[in-house]
Structure 1
Amino acid sequence: MSDLFSSSTSDASQTAPHPLADRLRPRRLAEVIGQKQILGPDAPLGVMLGSGSLTSLILWGPPGVGKTTIARLLADETDLRFVQISAIFTGVPELRKVFEEARLRRSNGQGTLLFVDEIHRFNKAQQDGFLPHMEDGTILLVGATTENPSFELNAALLSRAQVLVLERLELAELERMTQRAESELGHALPLDGHAREALLEMADGDGRALLNLIEQVSAWKVEGNLNTDALTKRLMKRAAKYDKSGDEHYNLISALHKSVRGSDPDAALYWFARMLAGGEDPRFLARRITRMAVEDIGLADPQAQTHCLHAWEVYERLGSPEGELALAQAVTYLALAPKSNATYIAYKAAMKGARSTGSEPPPKHILNAPTKMMQEQGYGDGYAYDHDAEDGFSGQNYFPETMKRPAYYHPVERGFERELKKRLDYFTKLRARRGS
C-alpha cells in the first residue's frame, strides 16, 4: 500500500485558500495508490470497474483513509452524478428530495451515485427507505461507516451492497504522503528525524489528520529543525511512544495476548503497561482483553468474560488513570484462569459446516405449524417435548435431515469445562441409547 492522496504538482502557494488535504486529493482512482486490497486490478473495485458492473457498496474503515475520495472518484470514472449527504444532518424530507432528483436525472439519461457518510447513523426504517431506489436503479448507493456494518446496518441493505474494508495507513504510507505535502508546500517540514516520526505516529493511521498536522507545522517560523519535545509542546499532543516500526501496535497487542494465553501474568502486565505508556487507548485494550476471555478461556471459566466486562465498565466510570487499574486486574485474572479454546474451535467448525450445507432447512418435526397448510405439510409432526421425556432429554435430531450429525464442541479437562464435558458425555450416551 501507499499514500492516500495524489502527487499533485500544482503551483499553489503556502497561502492557498484551500486546505492541504483538499489540494492533495487524487483526480483519478489510479492515483489512489493505497487500499490495494480493494483497488487493485484483481481486487473487488478493480474487477467491478473492469467489467462495467459496479454495484452498491459499503465502505467500512477508520477515519481519514479515503472513503469519501474513493466514492467521488468512482462517480467520475463511471459518469455518474456524485451526490453526497450525511446521515447526521439528513432527514426523511431531504431524502425524498434526493431520490426525486435522482429519478428525474435518470429520466434524462444520467445515473446517480449517492454517497452517504456515517450511514450507520440512519435507523433501520430509514435504511429500508433506500431499498426500492437501489433496486430500480434510481441510485447506486455508496455508504461510508466507521462502525461494523454487521451490527449497524440491517440485513436487507447489506444483501444489496458489497462491504469493502479500508485499512489504516501505515507509517511508510504516511511518510510518502508527507513528502508529497512538502512538494505541494514547496519546502520541507522543520523537524528532525525523530520529530518527523513522532508526527507520523500522532496521525495514528489517519491521512486527513496528518495533513492537518502538517499544515500547522509548515506555518511555524523557526530556525533549524525541532526535536520531538519541541514538537509535542507546540502541538499540545502526545507523541506515540511505540517503537519506530509501523507494526509495533500490532506486535505489542500480540505479545499481550500470547502472554495471557501462556498464563504468565507478569509478562501480560508488562505488555499491557507498555501499550498504555505508548499512548494506547485503554478502550482498545478493554475490547481486546474481553476478546481474549472469549477466545482463550471460554467456558473453562465463564466468569472471565464477566470480569472483563465489569473492568471495562469501571474504566468508563472512573476514566484514566484510576480505571486502568481495573483493566490491569482483568489482565491478571485472565492470565491465571484455566484455558480453553474449545468453543472457538467449535464455532469455526460450525461456520464451515453452515457454509458447506447452504440453505438446508431444519427437519420438519422441529418446525412450528401455526397454519393449517403447514400442519398438512407435516410441520411439527413427531416432535418430542423434551420436558416430557425421561431425564428431560428426547435425543431427537435437530440437524437438517440430509446432514450427517457432526461433533463440533470438544470441551477440555480444565476448569468448569471439566463439568461441561461430563454433561456432554452424558447426553451423548443417552442419544446413542435412543438411536438418535
Structure 2
Amino acid sequence: MTMLSVVIPAYNEEDGIAAIVERVLAIKPALQAVGVDDLECIVVDDGSQDNTAAIVQSFGERVRLIRQQNRGYGGALKTGFSQARGELIGFLDADSTYPPEYFPQMCKAALDGADIVIGSRMAGAHSEMPLVRRIGNTIFAIMLSLVAGVRISDSASGQRVLRRSILPVIYPLPNTLDFTPAMSTRALHEGLRMVEIPIPYRERSGRSKLHVVRDGLRFTKSIVWTALTYNPVRIFGGVGLGLLMLALLIIVGQSIGIGLGILSGWSFPQLFGALVLAVAGVTLYTTGTSFSYLVTLFHKRAIRQGLFGRRGNGRRIERHYWWLGLLAIIDGIGIYIAAVAFDLTNPALNYSWFAPVVSAMLVLMGVQLVSAWGLARVLAELSRREHEQTADLNWTYTPLTTSIEATTQTA
C-alpha cells in the first residue's frame, strides 16, 4: 500500500492553517485515482506563539500535530520527515500559496520513477509571485544550472514530493529557509531524477517571512557551497578560466590598439596586470581540479554512478599539467637569461623590473602546474584503489575446462 505523508511546517499561521489542512485532506480521492492508497497529514508547529496548535488539534485524528521549539523552516520539515510513515513524502507551506490539489499529479510522476518532483512556479502556470522574487528565482535557477550542469526552473520551490528512500542521500540539509535550494543542489549532484510539474502560485496575504536580500544571499551561499562539496572544479575552474580570459582580452586589446595606431606602445602596468590575472587563473583552476579528486574520495555513490567522470578521462586537462608546467618554467628561465643578456635588467631603464617579474611569475606558475599534476595523480590512484580492490575481491574464477568442453561439443 502506497501512502503520501504531507508535511506542513507552521510558525504563527493561525489565520491560514485550517484552510490549507482542509485542502490537503480533500485530495485523498484524487490520490487514490493515481495509485496512492492513503494520505497522512502532519503539521509541525515550529514554536508558534498564537493559536496555530489549537486549530490543528481541532481536526482530531485526521491530522498529526507535532510541536517543537523553533528550529526554522528546514528544521520543521526534517522533524516531519522523521515522523512520516508514507513511502512518498510531500510538503508545502501553511499559507495557501501552494496548491495541494497538484499533489496527485506530482505523486503520479514519483510513482513513474522520479525521485523528487518539484512544483515549479516558473514553468508557465499562473503565478502571482512578485517581480523581485521572480527575478531572484530565475537567478538561482541559472546559478544552479551552471554549477550542476542540469536545468531546473524553480530551485527554491516549497512544494515537492520525494521518495523516503532518498533522504539518506540528500541529507544533511540546513534548518533555515535555504532548505529547498540546498536539496535541489545535492539531488542534482547525487544523480537523482528530478521532475518539474508546473503549478499556479498565489502570493501570501500579509507580511511574508522571506527577506529578499538576507535570504537571497543565504540561498546563493547554500547553492555555491553545496556545489563546492561535489564539483569544486566547476566553481574554481569557472572563476579561473574567467581570469585567464580577462588576461587574454587585455593582451589582445593592447595588440589591436597598437596595430590600429590608437596606442603608441605596450602599457607595462596593463601587461603586468594581465600576467597576475593569468597566474591567479591557473592557480584557481588547478586548485579546483585537485579538490575534485579529494571529493571523489568521499562521494562513493557518485563515483559508482560515474558522475565525476562525465568529462572523460582522455580529455582531462590535468593530465597535461606536467608538460605545461615544465614549459612555463623553461620560458621563465629563458626570459630571465635573455633579459640579462640584452641588459634589460639595467637599473637605469624605467622598466628594468618587468622581465624579472615576468620570469618569476612564469616559474611559479610552472611549479604550481607540476605540483597540481603530481597531486592529481596521487588522488586519482587513491580514488581508484577501493574500486579495484572490490573488483579483485569479487572476481569469479571460470575453469578453463568448461570452455574447452563447450568448444568440443560444438565441434
Same fold (TM over 0.5): no
The TM-score normalised by the length of structure 2 is 0.28
More helix by share: 2
The TM-score normalised by the length of structure 1 is 0.27
